[in-house]
Amino acid sequence: MRLLTDNYIDVYTGRRGVLRAVILRASRSAPFRDRVHQLNTHISSTACDCLAPFMDQVLHPRPRQAVSSGVHMVLGALNQHTVTGTLGDLQPEALRDEIARLLLGYLRGPR
């Protein structure tokens, strides 16, 4: 899971300027926003395929849906981080751990 979230973070931090422009354009153009949604759906579907061997460890009645939704939540958090440069009062060195916890916590469900 950490490898997956680290890869997302690497892409977001490595392409911050481009991603800001994409987010801005998506906020102004419905057709472009639809293409971004298609890309996010592809990313989450690919994550589901990669995690298929581990779906039995997802404590959700619909594991594939949970992985897809969880990835969308991670991407949303990273969008927020890209636009504002922060994620609440989270220190930059804690971003990787906290994003991994976000996804793992969702997939494991409430305790």
Helix ranges restricted to H, the chain: 2-14, 16-28, 30-51, 63-84, 95-108
Q: What is the mean pLDDT of each run of 10 residues along the chain (111 residues)?
A: 90 85 92 95 96 94 95 94 87 92 90 62
Query: What is the predicted pLDDT for the residue at 15?
Result: 83
Q: Check the CA dihedral 94-100-103-104 and report its sign.
A: negative
Separation between Cα atoms, residue 62 and residue 50, nearest integer Å: 16
* Lookup: tokens for 39: 């890309």
Q: What is the pTM of this model?
A: 0.88
Report residue 92: phi and psi, to 5°: -55, -35
